[in-house]
Chain A
Amino acid sequence: MELASLLQYLISGLTNGAIYALIALGFVIIYHATTIINFAQGEMVMLGALCAISIYHHYPSLPVAFVGGVVLVTIVGILFERLALRPVRDPNPLTLIIITVGGAVFLKGVAMILWGKEAYSLPSFSGDTPFHLGGATLLPQNLWVMGLTALVLLALESFFRLTLTGKAMRACAYNPRAARLVGISQSRMVLLSFALAAALGAGAGILIAPLTLGVYDMGTMVGLKGFCAAILGGLGSSFGGVLGGLILGVAESLATGLISSGYRDAVAFFILLLVLFIRPQGLIRGGS
């Protein structure tokens, strides 16, 4: 493979990887607060993209569409936690898997009714004039995705480390009983984790929409890949999740170049199975 095309695959790999990283963060946050793997996480990505597209359609301002999409989906995440997970009386994994899968399917169905089966596009955040970089082209949207992901990551880290609420969330994850003793409300933290994860998913969906279009059934694939990224990172740290996302994105992109594009999605799941079977604790040991 020549250098230019290698660079091209690297660019698209890192872009997709950044998206997977955002979704992976959602998995990690919810897992930390509840030990639940939320199968509906991918649908938040889809909803984020489609909501933003609809808002933009009525009121063509990208910042408004972005914020509006994130807020709407965050509300969906909160409702999902309150209505579908809070009332569960026997919270064993089998029950929770089926409920979150049910939630995913439900949201997908609703999206199909609301938006139909066609794919929608969102304009790029700052035009489509490509940069040229050593024979490869780099779209401004690629930069937006990578830049905003980095920004979100920084913001999240400072939230968890510096703010009182963030510290409380981490305390809950480490030791729920002790957290309760010092007056932290576990149920509020769980709710917050779902809200945060939904917001992250929505953001990922809106960022990627200009590159891949938004369509009602995009959630399953993208959600699974986000999970794959989270597992690669060991489900432990946000850093691991981000690294997992980038590794997955690049691996997938390179494989597309080497094999064929039809099997592109299979690569991600092949990696997922490989990691689950060989090293379920993740490539990067889950640390603090």
Chain B
Amino acid sequence: MNPRQFLNPWVLFGAAVLLTAAALHNDYYLTLINFIGIHTLLVVGLNLLMGYAGQISLGHAAFFGLGAYTSGILTATYGVDPWLAMLAGMLVCGLTAFLIGVPALKLRGYYLAMATLGFGIILYIVFNEAESWTGGPSGLTGIPDLSLFGFKLDTPKRLFLLIWPVLGGIMALSANLVDSRTGRALRALHEGEAAAQSLGVNTSRLKLMIFVWSALYASLAGSLYAHTLNFIAAASFGFMFSIKLVTMVVLGGMASIWGSFLGAAVLTVLPEMLTMFHDYEVIIFGVILMVVMIFLPRGLVRGIMDLWEFRRYKKEGGIIG
């Protein structure tokens, strides 16, 4: 391996995960890092939909909740094997996304945003009201720990060793995806739907596929979340959490897998580190959303990369873009 290959982000990522596992023993920090992982999983999925395909979802927390509740209810109430429940969650989520997606993705822009927002709020109301199933506002307790090869994943360290390799795998899948035929079609759909169609891209099918795909990520994240906390309550899956996810995408940058990680990490750590942040959290999200979109509409990381790249080519060729 030559030295440059060590700078490959994937190698660095793997090394960081191993190092953390070996050196970090503080349960608080490990738990925090696990939440970063779960959030990154959600944000990568949302970014595929929003940043790459250009389709907004203001109700992504609903899929997260659907995954969490399917896992939670099946394991805590019915004693189903957690891994099986996780699969069931993905099935439920995928199916829901499909059924909602068929009519919703015919809508554009503002209408799609409103439809996903409405859908998110309906599910949130159901999470709250269907108390006999979900425990309502007071929550669902007694969700068992996951276990793998006979090991109970009951400590933050053990969960870390599940969540982060899984996340690494999902991020690799996503990076492959965006660099594949389908990924190019997604980006093409975002930047010019008519042009993409004129080249044979079935844009409505593609939108539906990526919507379902990103719902699957959210479902997986939801299941992991339920087994990490052993407890879930409706308040975690409301409108504000959907907005928080959008903020993570915007902060990290549209159409950027690593940016998703950054956005999720910053907005997961900040509220924990700064206690004053808690009261101002909502204001800060609002400011981030507005300021970043006004000045760098493709998000922070991607926006800065664009500026650099455009400048480079303008300098080299003396071209006016």
Q: Which residues of A contact B (CB under 8 A)?
A: 36-37, 39, 84, 87-90, 92-95, 97-99, 101-110, 112-113, 220-221, 224, 227-228, 231, 260, 262-263, 265-266, 269-270, 272-273, 276-278, 280
CB pair B290 A84 closer than 8 Å: yes
Q: Is the interface of A mostly helix, strand, loop or mixed?
A: helix
B109-137 to A contact mask, C-beta < 8 Å, 1/0: 11101110111011001101100000000
B91-125 to A contact mask, C-beta < 8 Å, 1/0: 00000000000011011111101110111011001
CB pair B289 A272 closer than 8 Å: no
Give the residue name and chain of the A residue nearest to B238 (CB): A220
CB pair B111 A276 closer than 8 Å: yes
B interface, how many residues as a size bin? 35 or more
Contacts of B243 in A (CB 8 A): 101, 105
Contact of B279 among A90, A95, A113 (CB under 8 A): A113
Contacts of A37 in B (CB 8 A): 110, 113-114
A90-B297 in contact given A110-B283, A262-B125, A269-B121 (Cβ < 8 Å):
yes
* B224 on the A face (CB < 8 A): no
A220-B285 in contact given A95-B293, A273-B115 (Cβ < 8 Å):
no
Q: State A88–B115 Cα separation when bound (angstroms).
A: 25
Give the residue name and chain of the B residue nearest to A37 (CB): B110
Contact of A103 among B115, B240, B286, B288 (CB under 8 A): B286
CB pair A108 B122 closer than 8 Å: no
CB pair A263 B239 closer than 8 Å: no
* Interface residues in B275-311 (C-beta closer than 8 Å to A): 279-290, 293-294, 297
* B58 on the A face (CB < 8 A): yes
Contacts of A110 in B (CB 8 A): 283
Give the Cβ gap from B219 to chain A, nearest Cβ, in Å.
Answer: 21
* Interface residues in B221-238 (C-beta closer than 8 Å to A): none
Q: Is the interface of B mostly helix, strand, loop or mixed?
A: helix
Q: State A272–B112 Cα separation when bound (angstroms).
A: 12
CB pair B287 A113 closer than 8 Å: no
CB pair B111 A280 closer than 8 Å: yes
Q: Which residues of B contact A (CB under 8 A)?
A: 50, 54, 56, 58, 103-104, 106-111, 113-115, 117-119, 121-122, 125-126, 128-129, 239-240, 243, 246, 250, 279-290, 293-294, 297
CB pair B283 A94 closer than 8 Å: no
Give the residue name and chain of the A residue nearest to B285 (CB): A105
CB pair B122 A273 closer than 8 Å: yes
Contacts of B122 in A (CB 8 A): 266, 269-270, 273
CB pair A99 B293 closer than 8 Å: yes
Give the residue name and chain of the A residue nearest to B279 (CB): A113
CB pair A280 B107 closer than 8 Å: yes
Q: State A112–B113 Cα separation when bound (angstroms).
A: 25
Q: When A and B form their complex, which 3 residue pairs have the shortest distance between CB atoms, in order from nearest?
A: A106-B286, A102-B289, A93-B109
CB pair B286 A105 closer than 8 Å: yes
Q: State A94–B280 Cα separation when bound (angstroms).
A: 25
CB pair A98 B115 closer than 8 Å: no
Give the residue name and chain of the B residue nearest to A40 (CB): B286
Contacts of B297 in A (CB 8 A): 88-90, 92, 95
